[in-house]
Structure 1
Amino acid sequence: MDLRQLRYFVAIVESGSIKRAAMSLYVAQPSLSQHVRNLEEELGVTLLTRSARGVSPTEAGLELLGYARSILSQLEQAREALRAGSVDPHGSVRLGLPNSVSLVLGVPLVEMAHHELPNVSLRVVESMSGYILDWLRAGQLDLAMLYGVQRSPGISARQLLTEDLYLVSLPGAGRDDGTVDMQELERFELILPARPHGLRELVEKAARDNGVRLWIRTEIDALTQIKALVRRGLGQAVLSHSAVYEELSRGELVARRIVNPAIDRTVYVAEPSDRPISHAARAVAELLTHCARGLVEDGRWRGELCDSQGYAAKR
């Protein structure tokens, strides 16, 4: 087994087809197939299931895929670290962001990285925190920002900030005094993501703990669609202030902070603890922390910043 075989195997699985992988790698298809057969013979297992639709990894193939991605990632990180020495960070960094975080942080971070880390290629991936955590564990991401992750095998996470949740509605839909009591949520037709979305579970737990019966009229996961439905007057949503910052600025929506009690959640910066991260990834982690703090301080991201020990600072 060698590194070339591992690269080829990863490319085949990610492409779902030996033919497509051969085209992307500029390698003859028979040669690529032979590499797979050699791997299977050496390991004594079947790695791929072949069908008319392409190929998919077997259970053994999935196990090898995890090892291969980790080995190739560590090799690239070692190469970058040794090349870097005392020079500026360079290389590629894959960063995972929850959708609501990406809305407020994505563009400012990319812009800042463009100016301050000119030799770093930043790839931002948006999804739900659960998926992002899985990808970080699997070596498909170098860094991530996550909600509600404190202790997870193979992951080191530090608190960045806590943010309150708001009831979001059309202007004029009820009194607009800036807050809404938890008990009042019973009166609203809510638009929430489906389980097991982290936001849904957080809101439902807060409601259960306080004896509140929620009226969930619509379940839809996409943040853009949730906001579109609220703008059409089809219900209210529970979201962070940052998730609707642009709509609030344009007067399209209003947001009232949920109180008595408040519902809040913590944003973490996470990285793998079972493998080293590159000089470039470390630089991006520092930059995103700096960028997030700036957004909080100028009011674009409403939240309480945590200190280096993870404690929330006073408002």
Structure 2
Amino acid sequence: MVWVGIVGCGGIGRVHAKSLKGLSNVNLCAFADIQKERAEEYSKEYTGGEAGVYGSLEEMLEYGDLDAIHICTPHSCHVDLAVAGLKKGISVFMEKPPAITREQFCLLSEAEKESKGRLGICFQNRYNETSKEVGRILREGILGKVKGGRAFVTWNRGETYYTESGWRGSLNTEGGGVLINQSVHTLDLLLYWLGKPMKTEATISNHHLKNVVEVEDTVEAYMEFTEGEDPVRATFYATTAFGYDAPILIELVCEKGVVRLEGGSVWYRTWEEEEPIYFQEAKGLAPGKEYWGRGHEACIKDFYHCIETGEAYGNDLPSVENTFNTVMDIYESARNKER
């Protein structure tokens, strides 16, 4: 049995709590939040009031006997809290992003190397049924090598989403806007299938919340993954200035055809076939919003399976380094106006 605590009892913490409650090898036994009453509410809701309640991670680590913690706090706190847990030798499962600066990422990497605890990053969309189906199509070579891709995230985030949070919309606490927060999962999938960009060129803008937030609401990026006359390349576009939270779209063009992931469905066809072949994900009860994807439960379950068996975890820190570095590259390209 793995004894687990959650740090940060806000919206995303509920998704983690619901996922953990469904695991037979996990005892969800502690909650911490700087607003202690929120931790008390979590304890009542998820453990009938039996779990320990704390006002900080330091207090939780001092008085709680834990094997693992989940970091579900504002972005700027992620690394400090994760490092504190890793230094205690306990395992850490972090919400995205793993860091908001390159320096933070290095600190996290060093802490992981020196700790006997395991570190997992919540890039849960890798576990979506649709993502697995695209992976199967590519792995089996049905469409040949990937030649390029495009991805779109068109969601809606209004003024109150930022002003009521106390931390969103600030570069110091959020680290950025639509790129590092809402659309990073989609970028992660695009890179998961295309690899490491050799060249990145991007722009960022704030169109609909000027004078309200410091961060971008729109990002556009162009990436090249190989050199030569016909490089493998991709385009990426994300905005929170759309009218509603539309399903994400990722399309990969390959040697023999094309595959598209859109929301809960996937279709592909070869250049010789007129009719595409469709895949529709099952309508399950896993926690999470449909336009996010519902991979949290599977992602978290796999983390604890790997802790139990000693197997390598697919969402460890090295596995997300390419995505993190590309996010930093996009921001630097946009701010410095250079490739």
Where on the TM-score scale, by shorter chain, does this alignment land: which range?
Answer: under 0.3
TM superposition score normalised by structure 2: 0.26
**Relative contact order, CA 8 A, sep 6+: which one is greater?**
1
TM superposition score normalised by structure 1: 0.27
